[in-house]
Structure 1
């Protein structure tokens, strides 16, 4: 009888234990369904026996390399719970960062580069050519190149442009562009070159005929002496920013090499090159055919009279920092105008003029200049629209290829719309311009000519007009330009490649055809519609056939 209560007691204990286990299992299942981070009660118990991490300042062995190091608050945890030294912690962080980046979706980059190329007038479609890829590779690895070898001059010049844009034209890479058999040396960004580097040009390339150095801030008198001594064939000089050359040294250059000089371009000279230097230039350089003086602060009205004595001048570009009396400029054009092929006058404003508007300057251009191919007359607020009408009406000069008349308008902050009689190029003048030169015109800049009406733009760039040679046009800050005008340009200019519309806020949602770049319209679509070009070609192929293959009539996208 004693054994029976014992078995009963054991059976009750077993039932109680089974009931407890069943309750625990039910709780674990409920925790898993709720997404709890605890795996089991056993894990909670084992957490009590884990090794406590060393405190900062204590010594510990690295879990990866076993190196003894001092623990800091920034010590990284290893994969097995230990700590890592600084070196292993950095490597582990790099690996984690690379893993995260590789898991992210690919993001299109290069937007800034694309817009930079557009502003430079460079547009690429499809895959780059092998030549372009090779040029880009050379520019990327500029410091590892020993020599270029025999390269054609256009490719060498293109490399010089890319090296300059990437700020890679330094003393070590500069030598790559010096070859003894060259007759042209063009460095488009020489700001990183030292004085000794310029002497190497004339030592390595003694037969150089054309020299172009931009931002040559370390070009000094000693370099001019070395150039006079070595470069016996030099006929074309272009220097930008050569401010360390003294006035006397400029005169020495003209005395020694002036008879052979055919072209001279000087820009951004502040400390030297005054009227005496220009007087020496015109005296000792009688065969000069091309002259460009821009932003040379020391030259004034007397230099205008000196330039008027150059009898063989064909290309003239002047941009003065000082105000020049109008009668001096009129006298200059009257003397050199008959032989000019290009004429560029920027910022010629007579501050002493009290007579208001006068068209003397463009009148003398129309009378004396009959061989011009390029005309730039910008940033002027004295000539009237009637003067431009007279210039382009019955002008015996052939149609111009290049015209830049930007910012010819009245400048008065109190009256932004200008006077009733428009100052500068306006509707009538623009119409006369296009009638005279539109058939051969390739480049047109009329930015900031705010008095040209929308009706004039719409009439000139209408479906009835065609300008077969126009390739680039700048309409920036002409507020009346809108989507209709830009679409008319696409339609009436079959050779157009570039349209600039900064400040034209009415240009909205315009569809840009293939191979054309539109700059300055933030809401314009990207250059799309390759489909439109294909459709137009397809229509030409089947023109003359009555409903070929039973298809309906094809309408081009840009009708």
Structure 2
């Protein structure tokens, strides 16, 4: 048969077939891989047809009828045709699969071209070279690893080597690991944004060095808040800190709120309740029936029904703080005060617009005579009648008021005279003089009446002069203040920002001297922002490095235009416990080297938290100052350095 096949190939198409050159088709590769020869199938079919023709001719010559061999030949011919059709169908399916693969490769190549538009010439050359590239080995074949020369079986997951060969599985994993490490090294380091950093500083969350284990655990809890089932038994301080972090990250919702509810808790604080619904507030008193202190901020869905449930279940409430509870009516506030009566010792309300008027404050003073702490801020419906009602509360020790309406200084004087003797906290904010005439009667009344104050806040006032502050702090029969906030006490006339020529309005140089003389030895917090009438000489004299303020930890000097680098240097030397200095709007503060452990906020060019050793450099500063004094040169800016 081979001789005949060779003869037929030589006679009919052998010469033409021998001249064909070029790459094999996918079908040819498939038939060769499965030991199938198309030429052999064709020759076998032709031999059977010729044999049938010869047998038919011999039968006709001998006068015999058609034999059964003819039928067998017909059946063989039909089976051969069926086999040919199945092969054609297989070939068509394979061609479609190959076309689909080529189409996908073409799409990837076009996408790569579009990504690298600047290398058109190079991509054309690569395409030309790809046409003549040797196809990769098929899976199942045996190859030698390019790196270790180990023989292995090729799989679809075999990695390509650096020189175009293939790698065995261990070498491929090692190469992938190295590539991942290089990619990670090339990836730019994402640094914390300045805005986030400044936000953390203002919140008091900035710490030097590694974070504590407690801080890391709290941050991890906030990050995976939805996956926590319970917090377990924790101290109240830790629970409150976790609640603060959850609130800051907007993670406090009806699901996470349940983590902070335990039957034996005496205090529940939700610092961001904006995502809670009305029925969520009832769960607080259902789960914690013995709660004594409740603090809810931004509780915008707290309604009358919650007040009823609080009255029914919260039998032990002594301290109530509700901020933003605008959906509670006046009648419900009154019912709450009647129900709690003598047990209520502390009440803090803020940001109330629709309700909580003078009649409610009257009911508070009538039915809650043992109230010791009262904080009412930004409640739009309150007026002078509320001041008279508060003046009848005999047991007040902490009082904080901020009204929208204008209150005459006669009402304030009556209030301070009535309750000032027992006050340890006095905060009067945004009480503007309706007449506009300067008067120091309120400060004089505080000087004569209040002798136990530790925290004093008197802000946004436009009626008290610098002389009034001098008289308040001079010979004041009151222990040194721990907390002093006298910001924005100045003349409100924008046409005359320097105030009257004869007497400055607000805390000025003399009043600042009197304040630091009286309370500097025990002061821990000081806010004199926007007190623009304090002179540069007064700051330099008070913070000269020799005078010491051992407890002062935080000071706010924002929008005091005379504050410069020299004053900040003096603060660092005079306040050994200082932790935070705020200098927004102080544009003369430049090139400050901040000592270790101190945060300077607001200085645009401050080099934050750079450690320096102070003794040698301070001696050098003194030499510079002495040399400048001998030359008659004015004091320049001194860069603060402190160990």
The TM tier, using the shorter chain, reads 0.7 to 0.9
So what's the TM-score if we normalise by structure 1?
0.79
Q: 1:441 aligns with which of 499, 502, 523?
A: 523
Q: Render the CA deviation track for 1:248-282: whole Å, top value 9, x for unaligned.
A: 00000000112100000000000000000000000
Q: Render the CA deviation track for 1:315-352: whole Å, top value 9, x for unaligned.
A: 0000001111111111000000001000000011131x
Residue 528 (structure 1) aligns with: 610
Q: 2:599 aligns with which of 497, 517, 526?
A: 517
Pair 1:156 & 2:242 matched: no
Query: For the Cα contact (< 8 Å) 1:405–1:446, is it kept in 2?
Result: yes
Unaligned runs of 5+ in 2: 1-21, 23-94, 114-125, 132-178, 618-639
After TM superposition, list the pairs within 5 Å mapping 1:542-557 onto structure 2: 557=641
Q: Distance in 2 between matches of 1:67 and 1:146?
A: 53
Q: Are residues 426 and 61 of structure 1, via their aligned partners in 2, closer, same or farther at CA, if it must alter by over 3 Å?
A: farther
Q: Which has the larger radius of gyration?
A: 2
Q: 1:385 aligns with which of 462, 466, 480?
A: 466
Residue 624 (structure 2) aligns with: none
Residue 558 (structure 1) aligns with: 642
Q: Are residues 373 and 61 of structure 1, via their aligned partners in 2, closer, same or farther at CA, if it must alter by over 3 Å?
A: farther
Residue 481 (structure 1) aligns with: 563
Q: 2:350 aligns with which of 267, 274, 288?
A: 267
Q: Distance in 2 between matches of 1:475 and 1:387?
A: 21
Query: For the Cα contact (< 8 Å) 1:61–1:68, is it kept in 2?
Result: no
Residue 202 (structure 1) aligns with: 285
Residue 11 (structure 1) aligns with: none
Q: Distance in 2 between matches of 1:349 and 1:373?
A: 24
Q: In proportion to residue count, which structure has more helix?
A: 2
Q: 1:457 aligns with which of 525, 539, 552?
A: 539
After TM superposition, list the pairs within 5 Å mapping 1:395-474 onto structure 2: 395-420=476-501, 421-474=503-556
Q: Distance in 2 between matches of 1:413 and 1:266?
A: 33
So what's the TM-score if we normalise by structure 2?
0.69
SS at match of 2:201: helix
**Structure ranking higher on relative contact order (CA contacts 8 Å, 6+ apart):** 1
Q: Distance in 2 between matches of 1:424 and 1:217?
A: 37
Q: Are residues 466 and 72 of structure 1, via their aligned partners in 2, closer, same or farther at CA, if it must alter by over 3 Å?
A: same
Residue 87 (structure 1) aligns with: none
SS at match of 1:452: coil
**Structure 1 residue 418: Cα displacement:** 1.8
SS at match of 1:395: coil
**Structure 1 residue 479: Cα displacement:** 0.2
Q: CA RMSD in A?
A: 2.8
Q: Distance in 2 between matches of 1:534 and 1:143?
A: 52
Pair 1:497 & 2:579 matched: yes
Q: Distance in 2 between matches of 1:340 and 1:492?
A: 31
Residue 44 (structure 2) aligns with: none
Q: Distance in 1 between matches of 2:571 and 2:232?
A: 45
Q: Are residues 167 and 452 of structure 1, via their aligned partners in 2, closer, same or farther at CA, if it must alter by over 3 Å?
A: same
Q: Distance in 1 between matches of 2:102 and 2:338?
A: 76
Aligned residues: 466
Runs of 4+ in 1 over 2 A off after TM superposition: 60-82, 96-114, 531-536, 556-559
Query: For the Cα contact (< 8 Å) 1:237–1:263, is it kept in 2?
Result: yes
Q: Render the CA deviation track for 1:107-159: whole Å, top value 9, x for unaligned.
A: 43344332211111222111111111111111100000011011111111111
Q: Distance in 2 between matches of 1:469 and 1:138?
A: 34
Q: Distance in 2 between matches of 1:161 and 1:66?
A: 57
**Structure 1 residue 63: Cα displacement:** 9.3
